Structure 1
Amino acid sequence: MRTADIQRNTQETRIQLSLCLDGTGKSDVATGVGFLDHMLTLFARHGDFDLTVRCDGDTEVDGHHSVEDIGICLGKAFSQALGDKRGICRYGQFLLPMDETLVLCACDLSGRDYLGWSVDLPAAKVGDFDTELAKEFWLAFVRNCPGSIHIRLLAGENTHHILEAVFKGMGRTLKAAVALDEKHLGEIPSTKGTL
């Protein structure tokens, strides 16, 4: 099983995160940021990842430190669970419709970090959640599980639906990228011999 356990303790957050890439979509998430709990639950379910997250953060200030640090931890967990990436498909993409919303997600687990974020969000908040933090989450993720991730909004007017489509779509996209390629199980998917 490809698993990881990550702990991160700073003066702003204390995080414990466990990940199984070959799971069934079970999650147990308590971040202190309700909307992020919902997004990570969707991400795990649609990616078939087993995910446990506990975060005690300074949410009395705002959600930024918790959201960014959980992105860091999730990226580290993916990186740790993948090891040298031998036998993975490497690439993933998913086009996710949700009512009036259409989001394109794509990734290459290349070892080079880049986030292409083309998502104009109509609202600054969903409930208490600052919507600009969604980009910060994925930026933190990609810096700690280096790869090229592109997330593009093709249609949509409802901020909640847009962000839900992003997290569901990234679950499906990463599920495809980390899947084992039965034809090339012993190989690193690069002509360089390393990722």
Structure 2
Amino acid sequence: MNYYVHESSYIDENVTIGEGTKIWHFSHVQKGAQIGKNCSLGQNVNISNNVKIGNGVKIQNNVAVYEGVKLEDYVFCGPSMVFTNDLTPRSKYPKGSEGYKKTLVKYGASIGANATIVCGNTIGKWAMIASGAVVTKDVPDYALMAGVPAKQIGWVCECGMPLKETHKCNDCDREYKVVDSVLIKQ
């Protein structure tokens, strides 16, 4: 094996795990899941059937990535954040995988601790979701989202620093401009 799985974790059959990935205590990766290279899955992480996770993804403790969720490369999922995959769940009337709503988290996006991502939405590349936020609609690239329900409160640089009105990062000097309400890297 060219990846690490703690002895307390379970990996089902028909799972792909990339080189350099680490899966820590009490985690479960279910059948058909694909996990990229150099990922880190913290304690008590559940990866459901057929989930696709890109390279360099970090999933902190107590996160369940349900069927219908896709995480692109370098996504960060903070501790105890929540994904959903059914807008109208009923115990008596389960929908099965065909009824799950899809959620896409694009390249480099970060989701803070205890945030909730309601299914059927896309989180744009390099977006930042604040801790405790509840995302109920699509999130633009580079958007800084906070609150319940989450609203855009600004823009964020690829390095993670909130941008000021000049749209130049004070930390790494990357420059951006807003065109038709979309932030574009210069």
Which TM-score applies when normalising by structure 2?
0.26
Where relative contact order (Cα < 8 A, 6+ residues apart) is larger, the structure is 1
Higher helix share: 1
Larger radius of gyration: 2
